[in-house]
Chains A and B, each alone.
Chain A
Amino acid sequence: MEFINALVLLTNYIILPAATYGSQLALGALGVTLVYGVLRFSNFAHGETMSFGTMITIMVTWQLQSAGVSLGIFPTALLALPVGIFVTVLLLLACDKWVYRFHRQNNASGVILLIVSIGLMFVIGGLVRFIIGPQDQIFADGSRFIFSARDFKKATGLDEGLALRTTQLVTIFTAAIVVTAVFWFLNKTRTGKSMRAYSDNENLALLSGIDPDRVVKVAWILTAVLATIAGTLYGLDKSYKPFAFMQLLLPIFASAIVGGVGNPLGAIAGGFVIAFSEITITFAYKKFISYVTFDAVQPEGLVQLLSTDYKIAVSFIILVIVLVIKPTGLFSGKTL
């Protein structure tokens, strides 16, 4: 019983939240890695792109809600997602046409494009705050829990509760579907293969007749899809706050780099590595230890490695360690 309690405790406070957060980071990192692989620069505007896509989704969700449309226990925002994705695709294609293309045609280096993306980050961030305002927005609906901690305790008679929120389930499932679809696209379709070829060796790809404009366009479309889905899932699961997306940039880049920039598989692994380390390192293990040691040891303190204030520092430290020890990342992407 004690052991089951310990397991439930870990699932409730570490495994479920980290798996959810990891899925959100993985989708974000996948977008960053895609831009890096194809266009060869670190896209700092990615966080704000997520914010923009989420904003459009939220506004469409409000329309749907006021029209009385709902998805039962699932959030209505899922219905609004396609519109959010569509508008974000238009935004990114416009950015590419008016901003990035000019620099690409001038054979600008990655650093210049990176700085340009920082500029766009501020522009998009300002646009978002201008349209929807800087405050929190609540747009989650449907039922909040699949089962709540109270229900779980009552049903099992355990001391520890386990809550499964609808948004957690939706996040993990959606992320799994999207990731599978992206891999299928990259590995099985002609366009996907041409993207990989272009990413692998640009000159060789051009010689074999791949249209670079088309590859770039598809890369932006995919990025918009991933960013909007990641942002909406994060907003549903936590809360939508425009400023939070700028803070998300660090863990997202850390995820992409830990996994190996330019490597899609690495981005996903990196997302989970960062999420699990952030949560396991700042978790207080007091109760857990007293469960597994059968009351033999009752820790005095909280048994917490690092205070939660330093949560963001964890991804930063991992980022630095990886850059020093294995700059290509776990799955050997391109070095930055």
Chain B
Amino acid sequence: MKKFALTAVMAAMLSGTAMAEDVKLGILLGFTGPAESLAPGMANGAKLAMKEVSDSGLLLGGASVSSTEADSTCVDAAAATAAAERLVDAEKVDSLIGALCSGATTAILQNVAMPKGVVLFSPSATSPALSDMEDNGLFFRSSPSDARQGQVIADILKDKGIESIAMTYTNNDYGKGLADAIEANFTAAGGTVTINAAHEDGKGDYGAEVAALAQAGGDVLLVAGYLDQGGKGIIQSALDAGAFEDFYLPDAMIGESLVEAIGEDLNGAIGSVPGTDSNGAATYVEMAKAAGFEASPYSGEAYDAAALTLLAMQAAGSKNSADFKDKIFDVANAPGEQIFPGELAKGLEILKNGGEIDYVGATAVEMIGGGEASGSYREILIDNGEITTVQYR
């Protein structure tokens, strides 16, 4: 494989690199804001895929792939729009990978991606609202919608024999969408949601919020917030007041920084995060380690988003969004040869020869509906200060 890649690079260098037009992708993530600790791992994931494709020298007759980063923030629509506009107008990127949060993604889709006709591929925007939004076929995501996560969470809670939950969500598109999905599914399954209250991020003190949650009661406190922000504050306050001892953590609450900040009191908390037991996931973790970074949550999704974008370009034989946007479903789904992480060169080669591929990638991505991953989830348990996997759903 290595040898093959090496020859490919040599071949590319010798033949017509100068002929091919280079491809430039914009990485647009919330490098600052309530989920900032997730962004570096995601950017590294996307860049890993780009480097792999670039090194193979097979893309569009030997095009090299470069990237440029911008901060979309998480909820600031104006900042997200400005950052996306800069990438598209000034940096002349061919396609966008991002954004991290649903609010920023919606703003970029409506204000930049659609008017300018550029494909937007988000690794981690999970709001159900994005499924039905008008997108001219330009929006994709390698993560599933929270409507699906709501179902999975209700299943996990029922399996654990949990009858009632108190729920608080971060007051934005992501939090509200997820909380509604969970409430609908959990109540339909016969559970009780004692309270479903919003919390604001960035406050110094969550004592009053926790007091209200504690009075409503429940077997478990479900915190649909952000791990670096209000979510952490709520859990800390709940533990301080002795209000709750058991927690449920949805995707945006899972990360090492939370486990470190809260310490041993978080042991026993359960949660769910998009993930898969396919071989691709394990391969990706190894690849990330070799490249010198941690495969943090949504890092694999970012790798897949970048890989799918580039593979679709190869399939369409063009880096124009209008041309390759229709190819993303083709390369992501069967039929065709299965492509795992680290095998992007093979995929490019097959596509070049007019063959078909079924991209599996780091997260066993399968595109459905309006261009989103069907979604498998990893059920986790915080055990002894470690995030451990219970099973995949």
A interface residues (Cβ-Cβ under 8 A, vs B): 12-14, 17, 21, 135-136, 138, 144, 148-150, 152-153, 161-163, 165, 234, 238-239, 241, 243-244, 247-248, 278-279, 282-288, 302, 304, 307-309, 311
Contacts and interface: CB of A to CB of B under 8 A. Distances in A.
Contacts of B198: 309
12 contacts: A13-B241, A144-B240, A149-B241, A163-B240, A238-B204, A243-B202, A282-B212, A284-B215, A302-B216, A307-B197, A308-B212, A311-B208
B240 A165 contact: yes
Contact of B242 (A150, A238, A283): A150
B211 interface: yes
B207 interface: yes
B37 to A, nearest CB: 10
A149 B203 CA distance: 24
B209 interface: yes
Contacts of A21: 205, 207
Interface string B279-321: 0000000000000000000000000000000000000000000
Contacts of A241: 202, 204
Nearest to A148: B242
B212 A302 contact: yes
B263 to A, nearest CB: 10
B215 A283 contact: yes
| Interface core residue of B203, B205, B243 (most chain A CB under 10 Å) | B205
Contact of B217 (A138, A162, A234, A287): A287
Contacts of B203: 244, 247
A12 B215 contact: no
B214 interface: yes
Contact of B195 (A165, A238, A288, A302): A302
Contacts of B205: 21, 238, 244
B26 interface: no
B211 A284 contact: yes
A67 B243 CA distance: 36
B204 A308 contact: no
> Sorted from nearest, which 10 A-B pairs have the closest CB atoms?
A149-B242, A244-B204, A284-B215, A161-B242, A13-B211, A238-B204, A238-B205, A284-B212, A308-B208, A308-B209
A40 to B, nearest CB: 30
B261 A17 contact: no
A163 B207 CA distance: 13
A285 B215 contact: yes
Contacts of A285: 215
Interface residues of B, number: 27
A293 to B, nearest CB: 15
Nearest to A9: B215
A148 B214 CA distance: 16
A274 to B, nearest CB: 13
A86 B198 CA distance: 41
Interface in B174-226: 195, 197-200, 202-205, 207-209, 211-212, 214-217
A152 B240 CA distance: 13
A12 B238 CA distance: 12
Given A12-B241, A284-B211, A309-B171, 13 more contacts: A17-B211, A21-B205, A149-B243, A150-B242, A279-B211, A283-B215, A284-B195, A287-B215, A302-B215, A302-B216, A307-B212, A308-B197, A311-B208
A175 to B, nearest CB: 16
B207 A279 contact: yes
B275 interface: no
A152 B241 CA distance: 11
B233 interface: yes
A286 B204 contact: no
A239 B204 contact: yes
| Interface core residue of B207, B241, B243 (most chain A CB under 10 Å) | B207
A100 to B, nearest CB: 28
B209 A163 contact: no
A118 B204 CA distance: 22
A284 B207 contact: no
Contacts of B241: 12-13, 17, 149, 161, 163
Given A302-B195, A307-B197, A286 B216 contact: yes
Contact of A17 (B199, B207, B233): B207
Contacts of A153: 242
Nearest to B205: A238
B204 A283 contact: no
A47 to B, nearest CB: 11
A311 B205 CA distance: 11
Contacts of B204: 234, 238-239, 241, 244, 247-248
B233 A283 contact: no
B233 to A, nearest CB: 7
| Interface core residue of B208, B209, B216, B228 (most chain A CB under 10 Å) | B208
Nearest to A243: B202
A306 to B, nearest CB: 10
B261 A138 contact: yes
A161 B242 CA distance: 7
A308 B214 CA distance: 13
A304 to B, nearest CB: 6
Contacts of A304: 212, 215
Interface string B13-28: 0000000000000000
A282 B236 CA distance: 19
B208 A12 contact: no
A170 B115 CA distance: 57
Contacts of A284: 195, 211-212, 215-216
Given A244-B203, A287-B217, A308-B197, A278 B208 contact: yes
A162 B242 CA distance: 7
A332 to B, nearest CB: 31
Contacts of A279: 207-208, 211
A148 B195 CA distance: 25
A162 B171 CA distance: 29
| Interface core residue of A21, A284, A288, A307 (most chain B CB under 10 Å) | A284
Nearest to B199: A308
A241 B202 CA distance: 8
